Amino acid sequence: MAIPRRRGVIGHVGQFFDDEITRLDGVLVTTRTRTWLDCARKMSIDELTVVADHLLRHPRPAFENRSAPYASPEQLAEMLDRHRGTPGIRKARLALEQARIGADSGPETRLRLALGRAGLPEPTLNAVTVLGSGIVREPDMAYPEHRVAVEYEGAVHSAAAQIVRDIAREEDFNGAGWILVRISKRHMENDARAAVAKVLTALAGRGWQPN
Protein backbone atom coordinates (compact mmCIF):
# COMPACT_ATOMS: atom_id res chain seq x y z
CA MET A 1 0.00 0.00 0.00
CA ALA A 2 1.43 3.38 -0.96
CA ILE A 3 1.97 5.85 1.87
CA PRO A 4 0.16 9.16 1.28
CA ARG A 5 2.57 12.04 0.83
CA ARG A 6 0.92 15.42 1.18
CA ARG A 7 1.11 18.30 3.60
CA GLY A 8 -0.55 17.55 6.93
CA VAL A 9 -0.87 13.79 6.27
CA ILE A 10 1.18 11.18 8.11
CA GLY A 11 1.05 7.83 6.36
CA HIS A 12 1.32 4.38 7.97
CA VAL A 13 1.51 0.90 6.54
CA GLY A 14 -0.90 -1.69 7.95
CA GLN A 15 -2.75 -4.90 7.19
CA PHE A 16 -6.37 -4.43 6.17
CA PHE A 17 -8.98 -7.04 5.35
CA ASP A 18 -11.49 -6.24 2.64
CA ASP A 19 -14.37 -5.84 5.11
CA GLU A 20 -12.39 -3.25 7.10
CA ILE A 21 -12.55 -0.71 4.30
CA THR A 22 -15.64 1.22 3.27
CA ARG A 23 -16.42 4.21 1.09
CA LEU A 24 -17.64 7.55 2.42
CA ASP A 25 -18.55 10.26 -0.09
CA GLY A 26 -16.34 8.54 -2.62
CA VAL A 27 -13.34 8.29 -0.29
CA LEU A 28 -11.99 4.97 0.97
CA VAL A 29 -11.91 4.94 4.78
CA THR A 30 -11.62 2.32 7.50
CA THR A 31 -14.81 0.98 9.05
CA ARG A 32 -15.89 2.09 12.49
CA THR A 33 -14.75 -1.13 14.15
CA ARG A 34 -11.32 -1.01 12.49
CA THR A 35 -10.95 2.67 13.34
CA TRP A 36 -11.73 1.83 16.99
CA LEU A 37 -8.86 -0.66 16.96
CA ASP A 38 -6.50 1.81 15.29
CA CYS A 39 -7.34 4.43 17.93
CA ALA A 40 -6.02 2.05 20.57
CA ARG A 41 -2.52 3.18 19.65
CA LYS A 42 -3.16 6.60 21.15
CA MET A 43 -6.31 6.51 23.28
CA SER A 44 -6.55 5.51 26.94
CA ILE A 45 -8.57 2.49 28.05
CA ASP A 46 -11.43 4.70 29.26
CA GLU A 47 -11.46 6.67 25.99
CA LEU A 48 -11.64 3.41 24.05
CA THR A 49 -14.48 2.28 26.30
CA VAL A 50 -16.42 5.46 25.51
CA VAL A 51 -16.03 4.74 21.79
CA ALA A 52 -16.95 1.07 22.24
CA ASP A 53 -20.11 2.02 24.15
CA HIS A 54 -21.02 4.37 21.29
CA LEU A 55 -20.57 1.62 18.72
CA LEU A 56 -22.58 -0.89 20.77
CA ARG A 57 -25.50 1.31 21.83
CA HIS A 58 -28.93 0.61 20.38
CA PRO A 59 -30.07 3.72 18.49
CA ARG A 60 -33.36 5.49 19.02
CA PRO A 61 -35.06 5.38 15.59
CA ALA A 62 -37.32 8.31 16.49
CA PHE A 63 -34.27 10.56 16.70
CA GLU A 64 -31.69 8.79 14.51
CA ASN A 65 -31.65 7.69 10.92
CA ARG A 66 -30.80 4.09 11.80
CA SER A 67 -32.28 1.17 13.68
CA ALA A 68 -29.27 -1.05 14.36
CA PRO A 69 -26.11 -0.52 16.42
CA TYR A 70 -22.87 0.22 14.61
CA ALA A 71 -21.32 -2.96 15.97
CA SER A 72 -21.93 -5.93 18.25
CA PRO A 73 -19.64 -7.13 21.05
CA GLU A 74 -18.83 -10.15 18.89
CA GLN A 75 -17.74 -7.96 15.98
CA LEU A 76 -15.42 -5.92 18.18
CA ALA A 77 -13.99 -9.11 19.67
CA GLU A 78 -13.44 -10.55 16.20
CA MET A 79 -11.58 -7.38 15.17
CA LEU A 80 -9.22 -7.89 18.10
CA ASP A 81 -8.73 -11.58 17.36
CA ARG A 82 -7.78 -11.04 13.74
CA HIS A 83 -5.16 -8.40 14.63
CA ARG A 84 -3.34 -10.01 17.54
CA GLY A 85 -0.11 -8.23 18.37
CA THR A 86 -1.06 -4.87 16.90
CA PRO A 87 -0.08 -1.82 19.01
CA GLY A 88 -2.69 -1.00 21.62
CA ILE A 89 -4.41 -4.40 21.43
CA ARG A 90 -4.20 -4.96 25.20
CA LYS A 91 -5.88 -1.61 25.91
CA ALA A 92 -8.60 -2.42 23.40
CA ARG A 93 -9.28 -5.79 25.03
CA LEU A 94 -9.58 -4.17 28.46
CA ALA A 95 -11.87 -1.52 26.99
CA LEU A 96 -14.12 -4.16 25.46
CA GLU A 97 -14.35 -5.89 28.85
CA GLN A 98 -15.52 -2.58 30.34
CA ALA A 99 -17.95 -1.76 27.53
CA ARG A 100 -21.69 -2.10 28.05
CA ILE A 101 -24.74 -1.74 25.84
CA GLY A 102 -27.01 1.11 26.87
CA ALA A 103 -24.97 4.26 27.44
CA ASP A 104 -26.24 7.18 25.38
CA SER A 105 -23.24 9.48 25.75
CA GLY A 106 -19.58 9.69 26.62
CA PRO A 107 -20.21 11.33 30.03
CA GLU A 108 -22.60 8.50 30.92
CA THR A 109 -19.88 5.96 30.19
CA ARG A 110 -17.30 7.90 32.18
CA LEU A 111 -19.70 8.19 35.11
CA ARG A 112 -20.43 4.45 35.02
CA LEU A 113 -16.72 3.66 35.04
CA ALA A 114 -16.10 6.02 37.96
CA LEU A 115 -18.90 4.41 39.97
CA GLY A 116 -17.48 0.97 39.30
CA ARG A 117 -13.98 1.96 40.33
CA ALA A 118 -15.41 3.33 43.58
CA GLY A 119 -16.88 -0.08 44.36
CA LEU A 120 -20.51 0.80 43.75
CA PRO A 121 -22.78 -1.82 42.18
CA GLU A 122 -23.23 -1.82 38.43
CA PRO A 123 -26.40 0.01 37.38
CA THR A 124 -28.81 -0.81 34.60
CA LEU A 125 -28.46 1.54 31.64
CA ASN A 126 -31.38 3.40 30.08
CA ALA A 127 -33.73 0.60 31.04
CA VAL A 128 -37.50 1.08 30.83
CA THR A 129 -38.66 1.84 34.37
CA VAL A 130 -42.36 1.81 35.26
CA LEU A 131 -43.02 4.34 38.01
CA GLY A 132 -46.79 4.09 38.08
CA SER A 133 -49.85 3.70 35.93
CA GLY A 134 -48.92 5.19 32.58
CA ILE A 135 -45.68 6.66 33.95
CA VAL A 136 -42.60 5.22 32.28
CA ARG A 137 -39.08 6.62 32.39
CA GLU A 138 -35.68 5.52 31.11
CA PRO A 139 -33.06 6.89 33.51
CA ASP A 140 -29.46 6.98 32.33
CA MET A 141 -28.60 4.61 35.17
CA ALA A 142 -30.71 2.91 37.77
CA TYR A 143 -30.52 0.68 40.81
CA PRO A 144 -34.07 -0.73 40.84
CA GLU A 145 -33.49 -2.77 43.99
CA HIS A 146 -32.77 0.42 45.90
CA ARG A 147 -35.04 2.72 43.86
CA VAL A 148 -32.21 5.05 42.97
CA ALA A 149 -31.92 6.59 39.51
CA VAL A 150 -29.02 8.63 38.12
CA GLU A 151 -29.20 11.18 35.31
CA TYR A 152 -26.30 12.98 33.68
CA GLU A 153 -27.48 16.40 32.56
CA GLY A 154 -25.42 18.05 29.84
CA ALA A 155 -25.71 21.49 28.29
CA VAL A 156 -29.00 20.66 26.56
CA HIS A 157 -30.67 20.53 29.98
CA SER A 158 -30.23 24.29 30.40
CA ALA A 159 -32.85 25.02 27.74
CA ALA A 160 -36.12 26.39 29.15
CA ALA A 161 -38.31 23.64 27.72
CA GLN A 162 -35.91 20.96 28.94
CA ILE A 163 -35.92 22.40 32.45
CA VAL A 164 -39.70 21.95 32.53
CA ARG A 165 -39.33 18.35 31.39
CA ASP A 166 -36.60 17.68 33.94
CA ILE A 167 -38.77 18.97 36.77
CA ALA A 168 -41.61 16.70 35.65
CA ARG A 169 -39.23 13.76 35.46
CA GLU A 170 -37.98 14.36 39.00
CA GLU A 171 -41.56 14.64 40.26
CA ASP A 172 -42.35 11.28 38.65
CA PHE A 173 -39.46 9.59 40.42
CA ASN A 174 -40.17 11.23 43.76
CA GLY A 175 -43.84 10.33 43.52
CA ALA A 176 -42.92 6.68 43.01
CA GLY A 177 -40.61 6.65 46.03
CA TRP A 178 -37.39 6.84 44.02
CA ILE A 179 -34.37 9.05 44.62
CA LEU A 180 -33.21 10.83 41.45
CA VAL A 181 -29.53 11.79 41.54
CA ARG A 182 -28.79 14.56 39.05
CA ILE A 183 -25.19 14.85 37.85
CA SER A 184 -23.67 17.73 35.90
CA LYS A 185 -20.30 18.44 34.36
CA ARG A 186 -19.19 20.05 37.60
CA HIS A 187 -19.64 16.77 39.47
CA MET A 188 -17.37 14.98 36.99
CA GLU A 189 -14.28 17.01 37.89
CA ASN A 190 -11.44 15.41 39.90
CA ASP A 191 -12.16 11.88 38.69
CA ALA A 192 -15.91 12.34 39.27
CA ARG A 193 -15.48 12.36 43.05
CA ALA A 194 -18.51 14.57 43.65
CA ALA A 195 -20.66 12.43 41.36
CA VAL A 196 -19.59 9.24 43.11
CA ALA A 197 -20.28 10.82 46.51
CA LYS A 198 -23.82 11.81 45.48
CA VAL A 199 -24.68 8.33 44.21
CA LEU A 200 -23.05 6.67 47.22
CA THR A 201 -25.09 8.84 49.61
CA ALA A 202 -28.32 7.94 47.81
CA LEU A 203 -27.56 4.22 47.83
CA ALA A 204 -26.45 4.24 51.45
CA GLY A 205 -29.66 6.03 52.37
CA ARG A 206 -31.54 3.10 50.87
CA GLY A 207 -29.62 0.51 52.84
CA TRP A 208 -26.86 -0.44 50.41
CA GLN A 209 -23.57 -1.37 52.01
CA PRO A 210 -20.25 -2.25 50.35
CA ASN A 211 -19.22 -5.89 50.53
How far apart, in whole angstroms, are the C-alpha atoms of residue 155 and residue 103? 17
**What value does the CA radius of gyration of the chain take, rounded to a whole number of Å?**
20
Contacts of 179 (CB under 8 A, 6+ apart): 147, 148, 149, 173, 202, 205, 206
Q: For 57, list phi and psi in degrees, rounded to 5.
A: -65, 145
pLDDT tens for the chain, residues 1 to 211: 555 567 777 776 678 889 999 999 999 999 999 999 999 999 999 999 999 999 999 998 888 889 999 999 999 999 999 999 999 999 999 999 999 999 999 999 999 999 999 999 999 999 999 999 999 999 999 999 999 999 999 867 677 778 888 899 999 999 999 999 999 999 999 999 999 999 999 999 999 998 7
pLDDT at 5: 66
Domain boundaries, the chain: 18-98, 106-205
pLDDT tens track for 121-180: 999 999 999 999 999 999 999 999 999 999 999 867 677 778 888 899 999 999 999 999
How many C-beta atoms surround the C-beta of residue 158 within 10 A? Answer: 11
CA distances from 80 to 7, 178, 209 (A): 32, 41, 37
pLDDT at 154: 80
pLDDT at 166: 87
Q: At what angle do helices 73-82 and 45-56 cross, to 10 degrees?
A: 130
pLDDT at 7: 79
pLDDT at 74: 98
CATH superfamily, with its number, for domain 106-205: VSR Endonuclease (3.40.960.10)
pLDDT at 62: 85
Contacts of 109 (CB under 8 A, 6+ apart): 46, 49, 50, 53, 100, 103
How far apart, in whole angstroms, are the C-alpha atoms of residue 86 and residue 91? 11
Q: Sort strands 179-183 and 148-152 into parallel, antiparallel or unpaired.
A: parallel
